[in-house]
Amino acid sequence: MEKVKLSAALFAGTHFDRKRFSADIARFRQGPSAATHDAASAAPSSAPSSEKKRKRKSKAKAKKNKKRRAEGDASASDVVEGFSVFKGLAAKKVGEDSEEVETAKNEDLEVVRRRKRAEREIERAAILRKRFDIHISGQNVPAPLENFEELVSSYRCDSYLVGNLSKLGFQEPTPIQRQAIPTLLSGRECFACAPTGSGKTLAFLFPILMKIKPGSKDGVKAVILCPTRELAAQTTRECKKLAKGRKFYIKLMTKDLSTSANFKDMHCDILVSTPLRLDHAVQKRDLDLSRVEYLVLDESDKLFELGFVEVIDSIVKACSNPSIIRSLFSATLPDSIEALARTIMHDAVRVIVGRKNSAPSLIKQKLIFAGTEKGKLIALRQSFAEVHHDPSGCSFLLVPCILLFS
Ligand SMILES: Nc1ncnc2c1ncn2[C@@H]1O[C@H](COP(=O)(O)OP(=O)(O)OP(=O)(O)O)[C@@H](O)[C@H]1O
């Protein structure tokens, strides 16, 4: 009994075939002596029983073989079944292959379609540039705008901004706006050169108003540098008009502000300034420009001509945000200035409307001999009257330019 328990403990977790070993179990139940005794006493009469046992064994063996054969058959059918499964797999694979071919074909078609779309886009951009006399240089320059509505559909511009444009009477973008706005909106730095009065101010203000958040209290987000106080004041006015409807903090750097403002507590999103005033505020009043996202040098030719190179350099350094977008807007772009600017700009796009450094082609020029001093005034009046009666004279681009000689 003890042994049975022990073996039970030893084989715990394994299956012990009690049926098969029932005779042995019975013998062990009677104790070892009984077992030997049994064996000894049973010896003479064991012959017939062993014969029986042998027969039983061979019968069991035959049964086992039959079972194994049956199992063999079953596994054979498994194989067949497996084969058919395999065949199914093969069929499926053929299906998948054709599906793959189909997908590859579709992908090829998609690639072709995309390539064609890109080609059409390039062609459309080239036609627009030709039509508006826009010349560009740089890699992957965004396509020019066809109209202001595109700013909403393609650049997710807030509709209030486009609404303000139409309230200001701006129906169509000017050539510089067509190319410079998408360039800046795509995060590219740019040199923009277009004639006087061609709408450059809007070209740099619009992307700034679109991209920065109004009313942020964590520092200046855009800096616009102008060569003169008058131009700075005019740009501030334009900016406020365009931003109407949103609470942007737009500040003009006046003398007072630059010398006595507490810039740490001042809320300012867009700061318009002349170089000296801004540099003074940075150096002497701790104006922090490290969060500036847009830096515009307006009328950059004049900025550099007026000898502000070092001051501008110091301001550029103060605008230390690594993801800053810098741009230069100017009526002329002398090579020396472009070379200087290229040292601080990354992957900049150059946009030129008309011929570089030339007078605007849309401005009519006339040479009139007025005779006397009085005659100058008469000729000037006549000229304005002509513009007034000219059907295209309402365009802001058509400005009479007269050289009067007496
Ligand atoms: N898309 C437009 N449609 C009609 N008028 C416009 C448009 N964009 C700007 N203007 C107007 O054209 C005038 C000249 O624009 P702006 O002063 O921006 O020109 P500019 O190129 O900056 O000139 P400058 O070189 O003298 O600074 C402004 O009165 C402005 O309001």
Ligand 1 close to Cβ of residue 138 (< 6 A): no
Residue ranges of domains in the chain: 2-43, 141-353, 365-405
| Letter string b/e over residues 145-176, b meaning 16 or more CB atoms within 10 A of that residue's CB | beebebbeeebebeeebbebbeeeebeebbbb
Question: What whole-number distance in Å separates Cα of residue 9 and Cα of residue 188?
Answer: 80
Measured in Å, residue 396 CA sits from the centre of ligand 1 at 8
Give the integer Cα–Cα distance in Å for 26 and 21: 9
* Lookup: tokens for 236: 């501030």
Q: Does residue 172 register a pLDDT over 90?
A: yes
The residue nearest atom 3 of ligand 1, judged by CA position, is 170
Q: What is the spatial distance between Cα 252 and Cα 259, in angstroms, rounded to a whole number? A: 13
| Single-letter amino acid code for the residue at 110 | E
Place 58 in a pLDDT band, splitting at 50, 70 and 90.
low
Which pLDDT does position 346 carry in this prediction?
Answer: 87
Query: Whose CA is closest to atom 11 on ligand 1?
Result: 199
| Interior/surface letters 6-41, b for 16+ CB within 10 angstroms, e for the rest | eeeeeeeeeeeeeeeeeeeeebbeeeeeeeeeeeee
Tell whether the model's pLDDT for residue 403 goes beyond 70: no
pLDDT in tens, 260-313: 888 888 899 999 999 999 999 999 988 999 999 999 999 988 888 777 889 999
Q: How many CB atoms lie within 10 A of CB 77?
A: 10
Q: How far apart are CA 224 and CA 295, in angstroms?
A: 6
pLDDT above 70 covers what percent of the chain? Answer: 71
Q: Are 331 and 354 in contact (CB under 8 A)?
A: no
Which residue has the least CA distance to atom 15 on ligand 1?
Answer: 199
Task: Place 170 in a pLDDT band, splitting at 50, 70 and 90.
Answer: very high
- Give residue 279's identity as a one-letter amino acid code: D
Atom of ligand 1 at shortest distance to CA of 169? Answer: 4
* β-sheet with 270-273: strand ranges across: 134-137, 349-353, 190-193, 325-330, 294-298, 222-225, 270-273, 250-252
Question: Which class is domain 141-353?
Answer: alpha beta
What local confidence, expressed as pLDDT, does residue 152 receive? 94
The mean-pLDDT minimum among 98-102, 109-113, 206-210, 276-280 falls in: 98-102
pLDDT of 359 above 60: no
pLDDT tens-digit profile of 361-376? 555 667 788 888 888 8
CA dist., res. 155 & res. 147, Å (int) = 12
**What local confidence, expressed as pLDDT, does residue 90 receive?**
55
Mean pLDDT across the stretch 88-107?
A: 71
Q: Is 170 in the pocket of ligand 1 (CB under 6 A)?
A: yes
Contacts (Cβ under 8 Å, ≥6 apart) of 195: 331, 353, 354, 359, 360, 362, 363
Please tell me the least confidently modeled range out of 61-70, 162-171, 220-229, 360-369: 61-70
Contacts of 283 (CB under 8 A, 6+ apart): 314
**Using CA atoms, how far apart are residues 208 and 1, in angstroms rounded to an integer?**
96
Q: Tokens in use for 68?
A: 């194994």
ipTM score for this prediction: 0.96
Atom 12 of ligand 1 has which residue's CA nearest to it? Answer: 199
Is residue 15 over pLDDT 80?
no
Ligand 1 contacts CB of residue 173 (under 6 A):
yes
Burial 217-242 (b: 16+ CB within 10 A, else e): eebbbbbbbbbeeebbeebbebbeeb
Lowest-confidence pick of 60-64, 105-109, 154-158: 60-64
pLDDT value at position 6? 44
Q: What is the pTM of this model?
A: 0.67
Q: Let me know the angle formed at the C-alpha of 300 by 298 and 306, rounded to the nearest 5 degrees.
A: 120
* Euclidean distance between CA atoms 215 and 208, whole angstroms: 13
What is the residue with the minimal CA distance to atom 5 of ligand 1? 170
What's the confidence (pLDDT) of residue 290?
Answer: 96
Percent of the chain with pLDDT over 90: 48
Using the mean position of ligand 1's atoms as its centre, give its distance from the Cα of residue 242 in Å: 12
Q: Is pLDDT at 81 greater than 60 in this prediction?
A: no
Residue 330: which pLDDT band, with cuts at 50, 70 and 90?
very high
